[in-house]
Amino acid sequence: EVQLVESGGGSVQVGGSLRLSCAAPWSMYSNSCMGWFRQGPGKEREGVAAIATGGGSTAYADSVKDRFTISRDNAKNTLYLQMDSLKPEDTAMYYCAATFKHPCLRLTTESYNYWGQGTQVTVS
């Protein structure tokens, strides 16, 4: 079973920063499209950011554009989400996701096959 493992969540003040990480096995990481999603209290899961296999192309939800940065370190099989200027509405469980289906850069949940367990981010 493929395992995606998120880390880096926590509690932060408004305006602060956090960096989330997602470790994936090489068999999953090497040729997969990856993305970050979040699900706030009482809300549906929504796409936050996505990145192509090589890392050269990215896509963002309008709500996080210019504040969040998605990146991947292919040498470490790790996906990142740098979150700056955090707002209370960013409070959510954050999930990383992966798929072998192309094209990449999609922000819909049905586009991804593999999911991590999530890491909680709380902004207050």
Q: Check residue 26 and give its pLDDT.
A: 76
Residue 25: pLDDT over 70: yes
pLDDT at 74: 83
pLDDT tens, position by position, 68-77:
999 999 889 9
CA 59 to chain centre: 11
pLDDT at 1: 62
Across 21-30, 39-48, 81-90, 112-121, least confident range: 21-30
Amino acid letter, residue 84: D
